[in-house]
Amino acid sequence: MKAFSIKKYDKKGALELTDIPTPIIKDNEVLVEIYAAGLNLLDSKIKSGEFKLILPYNLPIILGHDVAGVITQVGAKVTQFKLGDEIYARVSDFHIGTFAEYIAIGEADLALKPANISMEEAAAIPLVALTAWQALVENAKLKKGQKVFIQAGSGGVGTIAIQLAKHLGATVATTASEKSFAMLKELGADILIDYKNEDFETILKDYDVVLNSQDNKTLEKSLRIIKPGGKAISISGPPTREFAKAIGANWLIKTILSLVSFGIVKKAKKLNVGYFFLFMRADGAQLKEITSLIEAGTIIPIVDKVFPFNQTNQALEYVESGRAKGKVVVKVK
């Protein structure tokens, strides 16, 4: 089968198109023929080596976390899926590899593809929707009547998080460029802030939750708009000692992450605000819940561009440019 892989960490290097054997599945896995794969900044960060401390992959690896496709083989212990099922997934860390023609995926990561969307739209959903779900539902326990600030509303996570927050009954504020305002209003954003010309810190106050996806300076400003007892959830760092414990990291990594996050944690405590670093995980059961919202029309996928499989490098460059509105996908079949 054909697959795009890397042999070494390299920020500027391209993915290499290789010919490798089709994966052999384990008893708890299915083999999926890939129809479409979603791209994420996480793929770029792994390629550059940015996450090698917390995700120590053995190189070479095939990149890609999001997938939509059809099951062509079923492991002996798989009970919830059958041959021919159309599925989608964010595959588990250390089992990635969706920039390929086939992939073996653990049953626990899978959900049936929503019936009302295409393979390309389905491939755009898992990582960003699970991020939004784990931030707003699982962690923040966002409730009706609360206020949430979702940064970078027109990005992959932002477009889904806005819709999910509105479904949960929250008031939603977001930052974007003015040309994205109409789309974001349609998705449910109540307060739209032009990040080029406005300072959200002078507009927002007493927020229950902030979903931070920007740099540390923006995170620090975000802490000051949260009311006492509220929470900042960051998907862009800094990672904390608690996160290191959760992934079973060694004492050295725990110490490094304690130092890296010390300033933010201290500032949050001083303001009586919670700080949580979220590194989303694969979860087929949560994805099934998200499927229900998609099939009900509550959440719609936002796809900016679909590239052919042989242009996976160009697709990743487009993601890295920061210009995408919603998600970027490669069509494999």
CATH number for position 252: 3.40.50.720
Yes or no: say if 99 and 82 are a contact pair by the CB < 8 Å rule: no
Distance CA 308, CA 124 (A): 15
Q: Is residue 288 part of a domain?
A: no
Counting runs of H as helices and runs of E as strands, what totals does the chain give?
Answer: 11, 16
* pLDDT for position 305: 98
> Three-state SS for 76?
coil
* pLDDT for position 28: 98
Q: Is residue 69 part of a domain?
A: yes
Distance CA 291, CA 170 (A): 21
- Cβ atoms within 10 Å of 220's Cβ, excluding its own: 16
* pLDDT for position 89: 98
Q: Is residue 266 part of a domain?
A: yes
- HSE of 327, CA atoms in CB hemisphere, 13 A: 29
Q: Is residue 236 part of a domain?
A: yes
* pLDDT for position 278: 97
- Does one domain contain both 135 and 269? yes
Minimal CA–CA distance to 65: which of 4, 5, 123, 1? 123
Q: Is 270 left (phi over 0), alpha (psi -120 to 50) or beta?
A: alpha
Residue type, 50: E
The distance between the two most distant Cα atoms of the chain, rounded to a whole number of Å, is 58
Low-confidence residues in the chain, pLDDT < 50: none
- Does one domain contain both 311 and 227? no
Yes or no: say if 82 and 73 are a contact pair by the CB < 8 Å rule: no
- Cβ atoms within 10 Å of 48's Cβ, excluding its own: 16
Q: Is residue 50 part of a domain?
A: yes
Yes or no: say if 55 and 63 are a contact pair by the CB < 8 Å rule: no
> Range of 72's domain?
2-125+301-331
- Does one domain contain both 319 and 267? no
- Does one domain contain both 90 and 110? yes
Distance CA 218, CA 175 (A): 11
- Does one domain contain both 70 and 159? no
Domain count across the chain: 2
Distance CA 143, CA 115 (A): 29
Q: Is residue 242 part of a domain?
A: yes
Yes or no: say if 68 and 35 are a contact pair by the CB < 8 Å rule: yes
Distance CA 147, CA 165 (A): 9
Q: Is residue 296 part of a domain?
A: no
- Does one domain contain both 212 and 323? no
Find the helix packing angle between 156-167 and 126-133, rounded to 10°.
50
> Three-state SS for 296?
coil
From 262, 277, 292, the end of a domain falls on 277
- Does one domain contain both 161 and 210? yes
Distance CA 163, CA 273 (A): 25
Cis before 60 (ω within 30)? yes
* pLDDT for position 23: 98
Q: What are the b/e assignments for 238-250, b being 16+ CB within 10 Å?
A: bbbbebbeeeebe
- HSE of 18, CA atoms in CB hemisphere, 13 A: 16
- Cβ atoms within 10 Å of 221's Cβ, excluding its own: 17
- Does one domain contain both 182 and 216? yes
- Does one domain contain both 85 and 145? no
- Does one domain contain both 114 and 135? no
Element holding 24 (H helix, E strand): none
Residue 52, domain CATH: 3.90.180.10
- Does one domain contain both 134 and 272? yes
- Does one domain contain both 42 and 68? yes
- Cβ atoms within 10 Å of 292's Cβ, excluding its own: 12
* pLDDT for position 53: 87
Starting from the edge strand earliest in sequence, which strands make up the sheet with 147-150, in order? 191-194, 171-176, 147-150, 207-212, 226-234, 274-277
Q: Is residue 93 part of a domain?
A: yes
